[in-house]
Amino acid sequence: LHDTKLHDTKMASDSPARPSGKRQDTLDWAECFMAMAFLAAKRSKDPSTQVGACIVNEDNRIVGIGYNGFPKGCSDDEFPWSKTSDNPLETKYLYVCHAEVNAILNKNSTDVRNCTMYVALFPCNECAKIIIQSAIREVVYMSDKHAHKEHTIAAKRMFDAAGVRYTQYKPPHKQIVIDF
């Protein structure tokens, strides 16, 4: 269990003694950025799949965050969230923007060249194309649950050809707790 406090209301005068050294229980950069991707995923309205992505530059600055959802202006209440239907127009797949694409589109810098993307789920082939075209140099992912599917195999093939590194993230802790 790892405990992260975002806000501590205690005053310095409340402490009987000054700490003798710096905190040792901080998050490392990779843990922090993957946690940000998972936190962004909490914004997704998708009832079955919540994915978040966090793009970081070479200075460990976040330059983009995204999560999966419908495009701006497309109501979460009017478009389908279903995974199956006889009519493909009644499933979510033709409408949802993936977290990776949203993170790139939401970037707060000129470009994402040479950045690293942290993402909860290995990118599909369509996201891989956009990641490559955006010149992102590395993808760090948590889950590869679709490794056997064609879209993931194609994504890895393109990443390999384009020189985009991809690494499965192995968290040092089972969970991160945020106390408010």
Q: Which residues contact 133 (CB under 8 A, 6 or more apart)?
A: none
The per-residue pLDDT for range 48-96, each reduced to its tens digit, is 999 999 999 999 999 999 999 999 999 999 999 999 999 999 999 999 9
For range 153-170, the mean pLDDT = 98
The per-residue pLDDT for range 134-159, each reduced to its tens digit, is 999 999 999 999 999 999 999 999 99
Domain boundaries, the chain: 27-179
* CATH code given to domain 27-179: 3.40.140.10
| pLDDT of 19 | 67
Annotated binding site: 98, 124, 127
What share of the chain in percent tops pLDDT 90?
79
Find out whether 134 and 148 touch, Cβ atoms under 8 Å.
no
Task: Please pick, among 90, 100, 126, 150, the residue that the annotation labels catalytic.
Answer: 100
Tell me the C-alpha distance between 8 and 17, whole Å.
17
Tell me the C-alpha distance between 1 and 173, whole Å.
6
Q: Is the pLDDT of residue 4 over 80?
A: no
Tell me the C-alpha distance between 5 and 75, whole Å.
34
What share of the chain in percent tops pLDDT 70?
89
Annotated binding site for Zn(2+): 98, 124, 127
Respond yes or no: is residue 100 known to be catalytic: yes
